[in-house]
């Protein structure tokens, strides 16, 4: 079954669920927790029970307890995309003798950054992209980083340049990111790329990888965006803000929720599509989700877990256990947006190489 077909069946479930929810009857219980029963006899879901949660805003939301959302499997979609990229790179190599190149600049000894860089290199190898790496010590100067960028800018075998963030605090991130030439800005962080993303009838050369991955998941699962209400939680330059711009470019009506937003729960509950990029574990509860909404959880948050060998596990911004009972489709953490980010970086690098070599 294709992913789009899988989603259609999720959408069917979703509309069935919507029918059931409209037929819910309130049955107060002595415990104070209210139970609902449907009056529908249309399907096997007819005797569905739902509990009712009072949300912080005092609004009541139905929590269907026996239906689960379709899992949006970012890991398998990313694998599929990587296979497509590998095929394209072989075709390019056969026809021109050229392979795309990606340069990564890592400054400092942060373990998480070193792991990300290692994973990016592995991903490049797996699809046939040649990787270049510059490792600089924590105390290097901004000038040294700029010199590396300048030499990669001039090197025709390098099609994409990525500066691993965060940089040490003595460096000016803006100066460094602005030094990457726009044709090699595979992270899409150059203000010219973001500006074009925001403007009508302008095309950015590259779109930032994580938000691009979110939209790609919606496309590959056949989720309609045009005319839908979308809420993006978070407005960072690298995820929230470009995600909102992308949804708007696809004709969604977009609201942005941030740390100063009043009634975030109420606003989020209006959304057919929710993208959350906050960095707060389990902040988005089931009661924030409109029944049948599609939820993309970008958050990657470590929480203590004595049962895990590492002493922690990763969770998203969205309380998966609750939201997966209300949404029609949802990304897991891990295995949702994360693998898509690297797949989109490879895709941007291939696009840069094709453009640089006039290869269609
Ligand atoms: N899957 C991936 O590949 C990937 C890639 C990048 C990031 N991430 C993850 O995504 C999450 C967000 O990353 P980021 O770089 O965008 O983070 P960030 O730069 O810290 O931005 C967080 C955003 O969330 C908003 N926010 C914070 N607390 C809030 C609250 N209580 N209610 C509503 N909004 C709130 C902030 O609002 P203000 O603007 O008002 O401060 C800000 O806009 C993190 O968990 C990160 O690890 C994952």
Say what the alpha-carbon torsion angle 324, 326, 327, 333 is, to the nearest 10 degrees: -20
* Phi, psi of 175, deg, nearest 5: -60, -45
Instruction: Give the per-residue pLDDT at 66.
Output: 53
Question: Is the pLDDT assigned to residue 52 strictly greater than 90?
Answer: no
248 is catalytic: no
User: What secondary structure, in 3-state letters, does 17-36 show?
Assistant: HHHHHHCEEEECCCCCCCEE
Give pLDDT tens digits for 120-166: 999 999 999 999 999 999 999 999 999 999 999 999 999 999 999 99
Chain mean pLDDT for the chain:
86
Q: What is the mean pLDDT of residues 109-118?
A: 93
Question: Is the pLDDT assigned to residue 338 strictly greater than 90?
Answer: yes
93 is catalytic: no
Answer for the pair 322, 51: CB distance below 8 angstroms, yes or no: no
Predicted TM-score of the model (pTM)? 0.84
By most ligand atoms within 8 Å of CB, the mutation choice from 166, 258, 264 for ligand 1 is 258
Most distant CA atoms of the chain, gap in Å: 75
154 is catalytic: no
Residue with tokens 């050369």: 205
Question: Is the pLDDT assigned to residue 36 strictly greater than 50?
Answer: no
Q: Give 212 Cα–ligand 1 centroid separation in angstroms.
A: 16
- CA gap 135, 179 in Å, rounded: 18
155: CB partners within 8 A, 6+ apart: 101, 103
Residue with tokens 């797996």: 126
The larger pLDDT score, comparing residue 53 to residue 206, is at 206
pLDDT band at 67 (very low <50, low <70, confident <90, very high): low
Q: Give 236 Cα–ligand 1 centroid separation in angstroms.
A: 6
Instruction: Give the per-residue pLDDT at 27.
Output: 35
Give pLDDT tens digits for 299-337: 999 999 999 999 999 999 999 999 999 999 999 999 999
Q: What is the mean pLDDT of residues 220-245?
A: 98
Give pLDDT tens digits for 287-300: 999 999 999 999 99
The answer, yes or no, to whether any atom of ligand 1 lies below 6 A from the CB of 315, is: no
The answer, yes or no, to whether any atom of ligand 1 lies below 6 A from the CB of 210, is: yes
By most ligand atoms within 8 Å of CB, the mutation choice from 211, 234, 240 for ligand 1 is 234
Instruction: Give the per-residue pLDDT at 12.
Output: 33
Structure tokens at 208: 């930032």
């Amino acid at each position: 079954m294709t992913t789009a077909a899988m989603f259609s069946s999720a959408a069917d479930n979703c509309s069935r669920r919507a029918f059931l929810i409209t037929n819910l009857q309130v049955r107060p219980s002595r415990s104070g927790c209210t139970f609902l029963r449907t009056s529908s006899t249309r399907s096997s879901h007819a005797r569905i029970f739902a509990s009712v949660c009072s949300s912080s805003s005092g609004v009541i939301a139905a929590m269907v307890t026996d239906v689960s959302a379709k899992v949006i499997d970012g890991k398998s979609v990313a694998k599929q995309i990587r296979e497509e990229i590998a095929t394209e790179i072989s075709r390019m190599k056969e026809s021109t003798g050229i392979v795309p190149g990606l340069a990564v600049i890592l400054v400092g000894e942060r373990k998480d950054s070193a792991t990300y860089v290692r994973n990016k290199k592995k991903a490049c190898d797996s699809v046939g992209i040649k990787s270049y790496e510059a490792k600089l010590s924590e105390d290097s100067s901004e000038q040294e980083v700029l010199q590396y960028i300048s030499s990669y800018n001039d090197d025709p075998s390098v099609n994409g340049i990525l500066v691993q963030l965060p940089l040490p605090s003595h460096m000016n991130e803006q100066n460094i990111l602005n030094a990457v030439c726009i044709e090699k800005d595979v992270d899409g962080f150059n203000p010219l790329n973001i500006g074009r993303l925001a403007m009508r009838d302008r095309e950015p050369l590259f779109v930032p990888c994580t938000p691009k991955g979110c939209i790609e998941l919606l496309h590959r699962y056949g989720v309609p965006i045009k005319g839908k209400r979308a809420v993006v939680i978070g407005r960072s330059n690298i995820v929230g803000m470009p995600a909102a711009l992308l949804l708007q470019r696809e004709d969604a009506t977009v609201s942005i929720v941030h740390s100063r937003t009043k009634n975030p729960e109420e606003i989020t509950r209006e959304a057919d599509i929710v993208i959350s990029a906050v960095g707060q574990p389990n902040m988005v509860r089931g009661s924030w989700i409109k029944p049948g909404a599609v939820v993309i959880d970008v958050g990657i948050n470590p929480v203590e877990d004595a049962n895990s060998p590492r002493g922690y596990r990763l969770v998203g911004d969205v309380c998966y256990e609750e939201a997966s009972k209300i949404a029609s489709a949802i990304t897991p953490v891990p295995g949702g947006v994360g693998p898509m980010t690297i797949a989109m970086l490879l895709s941007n690098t291939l696009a840069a190489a094709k453009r640089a070599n006039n290869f269609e």
